[in-house]
Each structure stands twice: as structure tokens, then as C-alpha cells.
Amino acid sequence: MRFSIYQDSLVGARASNQDRMGYCYTRDSLLMMVADGMGGHLRGEVAAHLALQSAAACFQADARLALDDPAAFLDRALRRAHRDILRYQALHDLPEAPRTTIVACVVQDGRAWWAHAGDSRLYFVRGARLMRRTRDHSKVQNLIDLGQLDPRESDTHPERNKVLNCLGSPCEPTIELGGDVALEPGDAVMLCSDGVWSALGEAEIVERLSSVPVPSAVSWVVQRSVENAGMGADNATALAMTWEGDETRVSSLSSHDVPEGAITTTIAVGLIDEAAPGEAMSEDEIERTIREIREAIARTNGS
């Protein structure tokens, strides 16, 4: 596999960043994820962190070298993440579990599969066309589907932030699967939190993903979404990949550089920080985490 990949996150106007992002890959398989901790519940950043750790651990266990069934893996990994969040609740004797939305994508054998719960989105762009986009699990989307709301009114609807499905809820989440699509060189796949898509038009996202290299595209959509939202800016996080197949480009990554049986990852798989349940991450901790992720990406790109 040969691909270009980049990720970025900004805190926006929020007190802390509850979004998490990351990717892992072996010689034959790539997993990308974005999780958006839900701010109306205790320790949303913990839920997002746990979700990525749990799914990445599943990937490390199963992707030797490739996944037997990518769609089944995504369903299993996200459900395991949900159970790990509930286990965290029990361990800390919390009145409710932390909650997070999530979107994940596997690329393998020149094809892409994805899964999501909530309103974190995936965009699949070919040329200047939007080929696929995930459907939000939200109150507003449900009203649109029922014909009770004009899509043009969704941005100003009073319940636009109400999510109907997530990891960490008391009920088993719905994991919606999509994809099994063949990739062509130049195809772009972007995963993002609602802080990005809620502040940018779909046409803007597609135009940027199809016109500039992926690092520039990701940086632009994250920065512009925060600027557009102004004083109400949510955490904004995006991770995108451009598929290059067997084309050789100096700026791209080749999974053939990964030793057989090894995994390259930007997700730390291990015990989560055992901070007090009501304690949010400080801005310094958030910036340090993002800086460490960027440094890991730079080391990978330079390998």
C-alpha cells in the first residue's frame, strides 16, 4: 500500500479538547479513527481516548498481516470499545459512563470499509465529486429522514447537537457499516468530528480534498472550521488519507517499509491516565498530546 495521511485538531472556543484521532497500519492494512467525546457527559475525553485505545488493540491483535474480514473487525472493535468504556464506569463507580461518537475506516487490498456511531463523519471523495458520506445518528437527521425538517434548516435547529447513538450509552450502540469500495489513485477519505463539518459547507470540504495535498487540506478544514464558528467554535479534528496505490511519490508512505508482523501507529495502546474522574485535561496536556502525535507522524514520514 502507498498513501499520504495527515491529521490535525484544534480546541476551538472550548475549555478543553475532547476529540481524539489516530491511525495504525501493517504491511497490508490501515485503520483510521476519529472520536468526539460528548461534552454533556462526564469525562468525554476519556471515552474518546478509550475508544481509540481499545480499537487499536484489536487491530494489533487481528491484523497479522491483514484482517480476515474488515467489516466484521470494525463492528467487533467498536463494540469492544463500548464495553471498555462501561468497564471504566464500573471501575471508577461513576453515576454514568463517559460517552463518545466515533468513525473508523479500514483500507486493505485496495478497498475501503468504514463504521460509525453518532455524528462524526467520513467523506469519500474522487476527483471533485463526493462519492459517499456517512449518515449522522442525530435528532436532526432523523427529522430530515421523516420529512419533518428541511435540510436547509438543520444548521439552526435547536436540537442540532442531539446525538441518538454513541459508545458508552446504557444501551448497546448501533454500529453502522459502510464501504467495501474499490479505491483509485487520487481518492481521498477524510474522517472528522462535528466541529469540522458543522462549520463548513460540503462543497468546501470536497473542493479542498480534491485540489491540494492532504496535509494542506486537513490543516485548512480544521483551521477554517474554527474561524467560521468564531466564539462558538467546537473542538475541530480531521484525519485524511489520499490513496496512491502502487504509484511512487516521495511524500507518500509505503506500508512495505513496515517489518513483517509489525505495526506503525500514532495511538498509544496501554493504560489510560488514572486521573480523578471529574478532572479534565489541561490545555498544556492537550497541546503536548497533539505535539507528540505530530512528531510521531513526522518520524513516520521521514522513515
**pLDDT tens-digit series, residues 233-246:** 999 999 999 999 76
DSSP notation for 259-300: PTT--EESS--SPPP---TTPPPPHHHHHHHHHHHHHHHHHH
Q: CA of 291: how far to CAs of 33, 272, 296, 298, in Å?
A: 18, 18, 9, 10
How many other C-beta atoms lie within 10 A of the C-beta of residue 278?
9
Which helix (H) or strand (E) element contains residue 58?
helix 44-62
277 pLDDT higher than 60: no
pLDDT at 212: 96
250 pLDDT higher than 50: no
Counted domains in the chain: 1
**Of 211 and 138, the one with more pLDDT:** 211
pLDDT at 300: 43
pLDDT at 131: 97
pLDDT at 218: 97
Which helix (H) or strand (E) element contains residue 243?
strand 236-243
CA distance 7 to 200: 17
62 pLDDT higher than 60: yes
Query: Tens digit of pLDDT for each residue in 29-42?
Result: 999 999 999 976 67
User: Which residues does residue 167 pair with via DSSP β-bridges, in sequence order?
Assistant: 100
DSSP one-letter code for 113: E
Mean pLDDT of the region 94-113: 96
Angle, to 10 degrees, between the axis of helix 44-62 and the axis of helix 70-92?
Answer: 140
Query: Tens digit of pLDDT for each residue in 155-210?
Result: 666 677 789 999 999 999 999 999 999 999 999 999 999 999 999 999 999 999 99
pLDDT at 251: 54
Query: Tens digit of pLDDT for each residue in 6-29?
Result: 999 999 999 999 999 999 999 899
DSSP notation for 139-166: HHHHHHHTTSS-GGGGGG-TTTT-BS--
Mean pLDDT of the region 118-147: 92
pLDDT at 114: 98
- Do the Cβ atoms of 74 and 114 come closer than 8 Å? yes
**Of 251 and 107, the one with more pLDDT:** 107
pLDDT at 25: 94
Find the domain containing 163 and state its range: 2-301
pLDDT at 149: 80
| CATH classification at residue 288 | 3.60.40.10
